[in-house]
Chains A and B, each alone.
Chain A
Amino acid sequence: MKYLDEYREADAVMKYAAMIKKITTKPWNIMEVCGGQTHSIVKFGIDELLPKEITLIHGPGCPVCVTPLEQIDKAIELASNKNVVFCSFGDMLRVPGSKKDLLSVKAEGGGVRILYSPIDALKIAKENPDKEVIFFAVGFETTAPANAMAVYQAKQQGIKNFSILISHVLVPPAIEAILSSPNNRVNGFLAAGHVCTIMGYEEYYPIAEKYHVPIVVTGFEPVDILNGIYICIKQLEEGRAEVENQYSRVVDKAGNLHAQNIIKEVFKIRNRKWRGIGEISQSGLGLNDNYSEYDAEIKFNLNDIIVDEPSECISGLILQGIRKPFECEVFGKICTPEHPLGATMVSSEGACAAYYKYRNKMKV
């Protein structure tokens, strides 16, 4: 496919890998923020191509992983309601809440539907006027315009039986939370290309300056990721800490203003909890007051569901690159991909899940 295949060519990949090797003289920890980048790194084995001085730390940028336990429990409660059609992106269905996951609610006869786009939920709402249709609006900035548009259109079209359960988080506050931790080990960031497609990258300038870290807006294919790492290492080796844009075919500095306008219209910034990390101030989105009728938590009075994360789980430390999965007491014992305790074991791109698979095969 055009604009994908050429960025997976072995020749360019190997050349970038060689260039990285050539300029690397010191140990560096680079965090790829986005789960999509982690997926590419694992799938293509990009980490194998790097010199041993470079460690990739897999960041918290997977909306599926960081959706807090209590939002999953709320989703399960809503989906179990006979009058509800509960719609979600596919990968949320397997994420365990404190007792079960959405797939088992579906198995028990709950009206759970997998959608490709939140807009499709509006169609279902129109076709089923006697049902309450709820969309599980998870995501980072990339998904916010789609979820915002569903709500915006619902209001314009006067659709009353539609609402969203929100777990929307933002990238810059998470980067700041990681950098301000006293245990921070991250020297440079690959910022998430598709988040920046929407938001641009101006908000990263003050972060790069304040914490003196390079931040490189990076794409998702092997050549992009290696190019991003190269730019990042080059800055580190030269003692610079700037914001650079590797993914210029899709990202510009200002981002997509049309999309930003709808986000601002429908959402407001608020505190959010992240699975495995806890609450980060001003790190997510909630509905603006004049859209609150579309908030499933208000509509169905769900605010009293509060769940504690399992205390044994150290996924917060793993997400920050402070601890490795095998340093966790419960890793591979009570915490496995089939029964995950925390964010990093939940998704197949999570660091713990990746280590589990590897360790299993090595028969350690």
Chain B
Amino acid sequence: MCLAIPGKIISVDKSENPIMRTGRVSFGGIVKEVNLSYTPEANLNDYVIVHVGFALKKLDESEANKVFDYLKEMEDLDELKEGEE
């Protein structure tokens, strides 16, 4: 369910009312206005994951490589094992 894709915030429109906080988000060059009220921590140049016009969450860049780091670890382990044989 729930098509949500990552995009980069290219401008933030400050509003007095936090529930009206919006910004312009670029998806590979396509720009759409997105409601940022659920991601007050997200600012210019941050990546957010967007669903039906709402940013659901700021993307955690430090976690983004985890899947690849794990692969690397497993490979190193494998090489180690093969080296021992």
Contact = CB atoms under 8 A, between A and B. Distances in A.
Interface residues of B, number: 37
Contacts of B64: 3, 249
A149 B37 CA distance: 9
Contact of A146 (B40, B54, B67): B54
Which of the listed residues B6, B56, B61 has the most CB atoms from chain A within 10 Å of its own CB? Answer: B56
A145 B56 contact: yes
- Interface size class for chain A? 35 or more
Contacts of A194: 1-2, 4, 49, 51, 56
Contact of B51 (A143, A227, A258): A143
A197 B57 contact: yes
A142 B67 contact: no
B6 A2 contact: yes
A140 B19 contact: no
A19 interface: yes
A2 B47 contact: yes
Report whether over half of chain B's contact residues are helix, strand or loop; otherwise say mixed. mixed
A145 B67 contact: no
Nearest to B30: A1
A4 B3 contact: no
A173 interface: no
B60 A145 contact: no
23 contacts: A3-B6, A4-B6, A12-B68, A12-B71, A15-B75, A19-B71, A34-B1, A34-B2, A35-B1, A62-B1, A63-B1, A116-B32, A117-B35, A117-B53, A139-B1, A140-B2, A143-B1, A143-B2, A149-B19, A149-B37, A194-B4, A250-B56, A250-B59
Given A146-B35, A250-B49, 17 more contacts: A7-B67, A15-B74, A16-B71, A35-B1, A116-B53, A117-B54, A119-B53, A139-B1, A140-B1, A142-B2, A145-B56, A197-B4, A248-B63, A249-B60, A249-B61, A256-B39, A256-B56
Interface of B: 1-6, 8, 19-20, 27-28, 32, 35, 37-40, 47, 49, 51-54, 56-57, 59-61, 63-64, 66-68, 70-71, 74-75
Interface of A: 1-4, 6-7, 12, 15-16, 19, 34-36, 61-63, 89, 116-120, 139-140, 142-143, 145-146, 149, 152-153, 156, 192, 194-195, 197-198, 223-224, 227, 246, 248-252, 256, 258-259, 262
